[in-house]
Structure 1
Amino acid sequence: MPDALKTERLTVNGQTFSALTAGDPEKPLILCLHGFPEYSGAFEDILPFLAGEYFCVAPDQRGYGESWKPAEVAAYAMSELMADAAAMIAHFGRGKPAAAVIGHDWGAAVAYALAFRHADKFERLVIANGVHPVPFQNALAAGGAQSAASQYIEWLRADGSESALVAEDHARMFRIFSENMDMSWMTPEKRQGYRDAWGDVDGVRGMVNWYRASALKVAKPGVPLTPDALPRLNPKHLRVSMPHLLLWGLEDTALLPEARQGIERFCDNIEIHEIEGADHWLLHQQPERVARLVLDFLARP
């Protein structure tokens, strides 16, 4: 772990969390939210490039790493996950709005929820290979390429998936990580860090409970879902009013371009940067380039 990074324990909403931090706590805050199957280490490559100008906090989100892991599926409702993130902004922000929230994968879902409900708590939204709920649900329901790529969601939701994921020293989890992706960044040290963060069946259960708690519906390939089978998503309540940067690794095979089709309709001010030579794990593959795009975005008036 680079010297610039520190691990902190904190209590928010009455529960204990762990967070990776970097930078001067007196500087503007950036909250960084990881996805599945990562943990705060998802940001360890990029934080040193951001920490010169910002105080960066990357928590292990609920159910992950060294943070609180409730067993109940209901504890992973988006309202609960969003409340954790909002409380972390209050905890680390010294009474001021954060400069930005960065979300990747499932962390993007939490970041979007914050932008919809708590736009007063931060100034700018950055998403790295993550999706707005409306275009994503549309793509999942269509029965096309995104539906096919997302069939793993139903597998993860099934009873016993956590046991399968930890079997044979987390072999299935690493397969999820690496399928059709560039894993040259996964050093032996990082591999052990992920294995330690995942832990045993009880540790992984919280991770897959994010999927079980989600209302998203996934069509079978070639069998589109009818509108009445989908969750009700009111576009008026799902709008991003703040400046929004979407970074997209073009070689992502888990989230396809159709998963963001039409996102401009839900954003007042969005910039989209497509990154060649990167896939879903762009934060590890091109951390310096991603950091520069984020810094340039945050520096604009």
Structure 2
Amino acid sequence: MSVAETSPRRVSRRLALLAPAAGLAAIALADPAAAGGGKTAEAAKVHYRRQVVGEVDVFYREAGPKDAPVILLLHGFPTSGHMFRDLIPHLAGRYRVIAPDLPGFGQTKAPPRGQFDYTFDNLAKVVDGFTQALGLSRYAIYVFDYGAPTGFRLAAAHPERVTAIITQNGNAYEEGLSSVWAPLRTYWADPSPAHRAAVRALLTPEMTRRHYLDGADPDLVSPDSYELDIAYLARPGQDEIQLDLFYDYRTNVASYPTWQAYFRQHKPPILAAWGDKDIFFLPPGAKAFKRDQPEAEVRFLDTGHFALETHSAEIGALIVDFLERTASKAR
């Protein structure tokens, strides 16, 4: 390439030509506030708060204007609201973003096993009470992994509250379940001590690392994320809580027809943003949303289960664009 070809004028011209093709994701990468409507950095500050709901002291993250439309972020296994740390700045300039830690996870304090039943029905009840305590009457939900059965329970029970659904590797269809679920299916059919012991392998540090690294570019995944989850799982009593939730997951699969009926009847705007190399929830599970909600939008990302670790800017841009276009349908 000659010196003339790399002159400032030619470089500027080339950048100008490339800019339109870069799209929302490039804007978000360059300036998170731009993806959130160009609001001030003040709005994007994250506040760390607590809200008592019955016996549970819910820890949550909150950012964005108090009077803005709400997005409720529901995390999955084995993490916490920490998983949204990179996404929140892309949304908080335009939305009020709230990310609670579910009972049994993160910094939320719940009674020990035996005094509190760690089931998905109870997770949904706590989140329901949490939204009511905060006065949230209308909100979009971002659901991921365990956040999906929690959020779908909430949406099916209170369809008037949910303005839109963003599901990032949050499953509601049998075809989304990979072969990795085989030991869990055996456990569901026969919760014997032997089968319970067998699924403990899903709680090992190595398996937690696989949640993050399989299918993802490892150079883009912060080790702090999975090491934090490993530390949370190592707390006394956590293994038995998680094994209880593993067993109760069978109720989620049994509820798939109910949630699918909700999608068909109420037609909530749905964006499925899916890491297409997820070892747990397969791409057919994302495509299946269109069967019950034909207007659902499906976007695949070249990554694994924890797509936000590598694609937070792209997902943030997709969400802003999606919610802006579908806001009128949710009124």
Q: Normalization by structure 1: what TM-score? A: 0.78
Q: Deviations over 1:69-120 (max 9, x none)?
A: 541598233322222222222233x35312x110011212222222222111
Are 2:95 and 1:54 equivalent residues in the alignment?
yes
Structure 2 residue aligned with 1:25, among 59, 66, 73? 66
Residues 205-220 of structure 1 correspond to what in structure 2 (within 5 A)? 205-215=240-250
Residue 31 of structure 1: CA displacement?
Answer: 0.7
Contact 1:86–1:121, Cα closer than 8 Å, also in 2? no
Higher-helix-fraction structure: 2
Determine the structure 1 residue equivalent to 2:126.
84
Residue 246 of structure 1: CA displacement?
Answer: 1.0
Contact 1:129–1:255, Cα closer than 8 Å, also in 2? yes
**CA 1:6 to 1:232, structure 2 compared with 1: closer, same or farther past 3 Å?**
closer
**CA 1:18 to 1:124, structure 2 compared with 1: closer, same or farther past 3 Å?**
same
Aligned equivalents of 1:268 and 1:124: distance in 2? 14
Are 2:209 and 1:174 equivalent residues in the alignment?
yes
Structure 2 residue aligned with 1:114, among 137, 154, 179? 154
Any unmatched runs of 5+ in structure 1?
Answer: 141-145, 219-229
Q: Normalization by structure 2: what TM-score? A: 0.71
Structure 2 residue aligned with 1:159, among 193, 196, 199? 196
Aligned equivalents of 1:216 and 1:139: distance in 2? 16
Are 2:292 and 1:266 equivalent residues in the alignment?
yes
Q: How many residues align?
A: 275
Q: SS of 2:171's equivalent? A: coil
Instruction: Return the index of the structure with the highest Cα Rg.
Output: 2
Aligned equivalents of 2:101 and 2:186: distance in 1? 24
Contact 2:124–2:153, Cα closer than 8 Å, also in 1? yes
**CA 1:174 to 1:294, structure 2 compared with 1: closer, same or farther past 3 Å?**
same
Any unmatched runs of 5+ in structure 2?
Answer: 1-40, 189-194
Q: SS of 1:211's equivalent? A: helix
**CA 1:95 to 1:6, structure 2 compared with 1: closer, same or farther past 3 Å?**
closer
Contact 1:156–1:208, Cα closer than 8 Å, also in 2? no
Aligned equivalents of 1:243 and 1:293: distance in 2? 13
Structure 2 residue aligned with 1:12, among 40, 44, 53? 53
Q: SS of 1:111's equivalent? A: helix
State the AA in 2 paired with 1:8: R
Q: Deviations over 1:134-186 (max 9, x none)?
A: x22x565xxxxx2x23235358874347876676xx34433444344434343
